[in-house]
Amino acid sequence: MTTTNSADDNSFETTVLDAEDYVLVDFWAPWCGPCRMQSPVLEKFASANAEVSVVKVNVDESPQTATRYGIRSIPTLVVFKDGKPVIGTMGLQNKGNLERLMREAKKRSAA
């Protein structure tokens, strides 16, 4: 079972910005080796963190969304809360780094 969702320029608003809780967005492309390596890590993270939605955005298919959030390098992961970006990181991340990213996002959004 897939625990991650996808969004594109047309569905980003309803999938990510209108979400009521935390959304971890993975900006990626199929030709990107580190992006492909990130996918199974995100699947495991999503399975263990049901309260967080994980959404993948293919930057080649969604250039407007990638430009809107200043995505210059992939993979880039951005945590959104209540439609606003809270924190992000670039490069391949392990599960521990994803958990730290979420803790920091929760801390920042509570402040």
Q: Residue 96 gets which letter from DSSP?
A: H
User: Does the active-site annotation cover 32?
Assistant: yes
**DSSP symbols for 63-91:** HHHHHHTT--SSSEEEEEETTEEEEEEES
Helices (H), 1-111: 12, 33-48, 63-68, 95-110
Catalytic residue, chosen from 35, 42, 55, 86, is 35
Catalytic residue, chosen from 32, 42, 55, 77, is 32
Helices (H), 9-94: 12, 33-48, 63-68
Please give the positions annotated as active site.
Answer: 32, 35
